[in-house]
Amino acid sequence: MKLLSALLLSIALLLAGCSEPKRFVSTDLSMVDWGKDFSLTDHKGQPRRLADFRGKAVVLFFGYTQCPDVCPTTLTIMRDAMTLLGEDAKRVQVLFVTVDPARDTPQLLAQYVPAFNPDFLGLYADEKTIAALAKDFKVFYAKQPGSTPDTYSIDHSTGSYAFDPNGKLRLLLRHGEAPANVAADLKLLLSEKQ
C-alpha cells in the first residue's frame, strides 16, 4: 500500500510539473502598452522598423560605442547567449541603438557592433528621433561633460528589451544577466505558439 501511495504521489508531482507555466528569468513586460515600434537606419544604411524582423525574437539595447563598461558587457553577453542558442540564434536579431548620434557615425557603428557578432546591427537616427524613441521605451540617458567637448560620457539605462517573434515587447533583460539565462528566456520566446 505504501509503495502504491508513493507511486501515485510521484505521478501527481510529475503531472503538476508538466502544467507549470513557463517562467522567464527576466522581467515580464507583456502587459505594457509602450515600446511598440521604431523607425531607424542600420549601420548598412537600410531603414529599419520592428516589422522587418517579424518571425524572429528581437533584443533592443540603447547605448553608445565609447561606453567604457555597460555596452561592451551587454554585447558580450548577447554574443555568448547567441552561441548557447546554437541554431536558434538564426531566429534572434540583436539591435544596438546609439544614444550618441553625434559621435556614433554609421561607419563607427559598422565597425563596433559586428565586432561582437556579425549578425548584430547598429541603429541610428538624428538626436530628436533618438530622444523620442528613448522616451517611448522609458530609457534614460544624459550627457556628462568630459575634460574636452569631445570626451563626454553618457549615463544611460542598462536593460535590454526582448520582443517575441510577433513583434510584441515581452521582456526587460537586466544588465549583467548570465548568458545562459538570456538564452533560456529567448528560447522560451521562440518556443511560444505564433
For 119-146, what is the mean pLDDT?
96
Please give the model's pTM, rounded to 2 decimal places.
0.87
Going by pLDDT thresholds of 50, 70 and 90, the confidence category of residue 6 is: very low
148 or 81, which is more confident: 81
pLDDT digits (tens, 9 = 90+) for 25-54: 999 999 999 999 999 999 999 999 999 999
Q: Is 71 assigned to a binding site? A: yes
For the cut 50, the answer to whether the pLDDT of residue 78 exceeds it is: yes
Q: Are 155 and 142 in contact (CB under 8 A)?
A: yes
pLDDT of residue 23: 87
| Mode of pairing for the β-strands spanning 141-144 and 39-42 | unpaired
Sign for the CA dihedral angle at 102, 112, 63, 30 comes to positive
Q: Say whether 156 counts as a known binding-site residue.
A: yes
User: Residue 194 pLDDT more than 80?
Assistant: no
- Can you name the residues that pair with 146 across neighbouring β-strands? none
> Which homologous superfamily does the CATH classification assign to the domain defined by 24-191?
Glutaredoxin (3.40.30.10)
- The DSSP symbol for 20 reads P
Residues 104-121 have a mean pLDDT of 98
Q: What is the largest CA-CA distance in the chain?
A: 81
What pairs with residue 28 in β-bridges? Answer: 171
**What is the average pLDDT score of the chain?**
90
Q: Rounded distance, CA 64 to CA 96, Å?
A: 8
